[in-house]
Structure 1
């Protein structure tokens, strides 16, 4: 899997752009990163096309909206740029931003440029390519990264307008319900049942923070010693409920069926240990709603997968991996409904 998604490849014809136009624009805007000599496309990721730029001085990353028909509010690279820029002077580990271009005439869609963080991305959810001792350190860094994000003060960062502060899950249920129906290729009965069940069970929101929206192992790059990380892919970030964001992050233990014995064998915390470490770091409290957050997160990831399948249908995502991910919508919706129907 690592070879399939790590590194770069030749830019696909559909996602190519004119390098001369980019260089003329950067010079005109006095963006001092040097003349871009060549560019390649990163293999990983199915949402916003991402490129490695090699200039005469250094390497950088360009991230853009994909061309073609898009769902409303999707692929919001301008929002990614805003939150990344706001977090630059905090302890939250993120790449440094350089420039946002909203002029679609330059390369065909809006884009931003940020620093290139060299290191390792573990595409396997359990980081199976490394040993147990190293894996334990990786999961601790992963826990610390999301904990640091969730304790940031949105007022200090001037991000009060980055999203609404209340009713996060209600809004998320509405959003992913709409995306599901916009992208539906066949009826998933369990998804329809979750759409009816979820709004009746939403707990009161206790905390407000920046939420990443898709925090998982393969959206984090680790330095070669696993001591420092950089969190990537902020497309779904907003203001919301940090416990819901952390619940989504913890789907690994449910989808991967990681019980205590499996966790011990892998050298990672079990779910309770991982959750308690997060609660200790953030000073948050959790009552009896953890199972709801997991069910909601399964619904959300099913909606994401269905959105990918919808893009395959519409011709804006054509890889075999995208098709496989889309088909997982049924699996995740079924698992969510199995858990939901057992709650009285």
Structure 2
């Protein structure tokens, strides 16, 4: 295998051009490759072939990564299963598990033109009316996802009708205990509180990272694609709603579970989004506070892992000041504990 193109990390242009020519109908090489989303998650490239047709290519991060954390086969199976479901996703075109091509599994899908609202700055690209429409549509799309009958679907995940939250709590507690940060006792305290009062499970497809920053909208605010299926599984669907609501900041708030555009004017409130989801899905959300607390706690566990990797030097020097995570972790753990009392 030749070395990946230096201007496009993770892509061996000659080998990928050849593979796409053989496996993607209508592809005309050579193509250009532009990294459009990267960082600590899977990498997304805009691929433009010689005829001007655009595609999106996804592969794991370069360097040392856990295969289970960046499972391209999982993503491929879920977006394939979403075809015709009412959940908008890009059309999958071809999957490659031959690492001699460019060093890792990857897949190719149609490129979907849209606007990703990942921050308040991004929200400036759409009108106030489009922000309201996006708020409505994200609740509707999540309800559509959770309405899919998982029986007969060829997707990874347990078909068990209970135990999802317990498994998640045990998994994340163990990951924190593996590095023993100063907040370990607080993590354990909230974990015990969660395990003592788990609601009955509503089983379906759980996206795992469903939030405004993982969808694309058109200029009117309608969702045209849901991205980043690397954490998708079958489990308790209300965990998705908990994550969406915990990451939904409102104007004037300082903290959210993850970066969000919803603090800008025009977006619905958390309550409006949750009620819309309840109306469209028919699911009982009377225990939503539990799921929001769980996701704030899970978000803190994730941030503890990120902070540890920075402190250990495993993340390199990318200019990010990881010390700002201290306040986010403290707020998330405190909020989760107060909600569960």
* TM-score greater than 0.5 by the shorter chain: yes
Verify: 1:163 aligned to 2:162, yes or no: no
Q: Distance in 2 between matches of 1:236 and 1:14?
A: 25
Q: Unaligned 5+ residue runs, structure 1?
A: 1-10
Distance 1:223 1:14, change over 3 A: closer
Q: For each residue in 1:199-239, what CA deviation from the matched residue of structure 2 results, as whole angstroms up to 9, or x when unmatched? A: 2232221x111111111111111123323420011111100
1:111 aligns with 2:106: yes
Measure the CA separation in 1 of the matches of 2:159 and 2:245: 24
Structure 2 residue corresponding to 1:230, chosen from 225, 229, 233: 225
1:248-273 C-alpha deviation (Å, 9 max, x unpaired): 110134687669xxx99933332222
Question: 1:15 is paired with a residue of what secondary structure?
Answer: coil
Asked if 1:39 is matched to 2:30, the reply is no
Name the structure 1 match of 2:187.
Answer: 191
C-alpha spacing 1:217/1:106, structure 2 compared with 1 (3 Å): same
- Inter-partner Cα distance in structure 2 for 1:308 and 1:149: 29
Give the Å deviation of 1:101: 0.9
- Equivalenced residue count is 325
Q: Which residue of 1 aligns with 2:147?
A: 151
Partner of 2:75: 80
Give the TM-score normalised by structure 2: 0.84
Once the two structures are superposed, residues 272-309 of structure 1 have per-residue CA deviations (whole angstroms, 9 ceiling, x without a partner) of 2221110110011133x222111100111222333434
Q: From the superposition, tell whether residues 202 and 28 of structure 1 become closer, same or farther in structure 2 (CA, over 3 Å).
A: same
Q: Residues 319 and 163 of structure 1: is their aligned pair in 2 closer, same or farther, counting only changes over 3 Å?
A: farther
| Cα pair 1:127 1:135 within 8 Å, conserved | no
Q: 296, 299, 319: which one pairs with 1:298?
A: 296
SS across alignment from 2:99? coil
- After superposition, the C-alpha distances for 1:152-196 in whole angstroms (9 at most, x for unaligned) are 11115344x5334331111111222233345x4842243343234
Q: Secondary structure at 1:113's aligned position in 2?
A: strand
Q: Contact (CA 8 Å) 1:214, 1:248: kept in 2 or not? A: yes
Q: Which residue is equivalent to 2:275? A: 276
Say whether residues 1:328 and 2:319 are aligned partners.
Answer: no
Match of 2:65 among 46, 62, 70: 70
Structure 2 distance, partners of 1:12, 1:175, is 37
8 Å Cα contact 1:151-1:209 kept in structure 2: yes
Q: Contact 1:31 / 1:99 at 8 angstroms: preserved in 2? A: no
SS at the partner of 1:213? coil
| Contact 2:169/2:191 (8 A) holds in 1 | yes
Give the alignment's Cα RMSD to 1 decimal.
3.0
Take 2:63 and 2:191, find their aligned partners in 1: how far apart are those partners? Answer: 29
Distance change in 2, residues 1:279/1:271 (3 Å): same
Cα distance in 1 between the residues matched to 2:103 and 2:38: 21
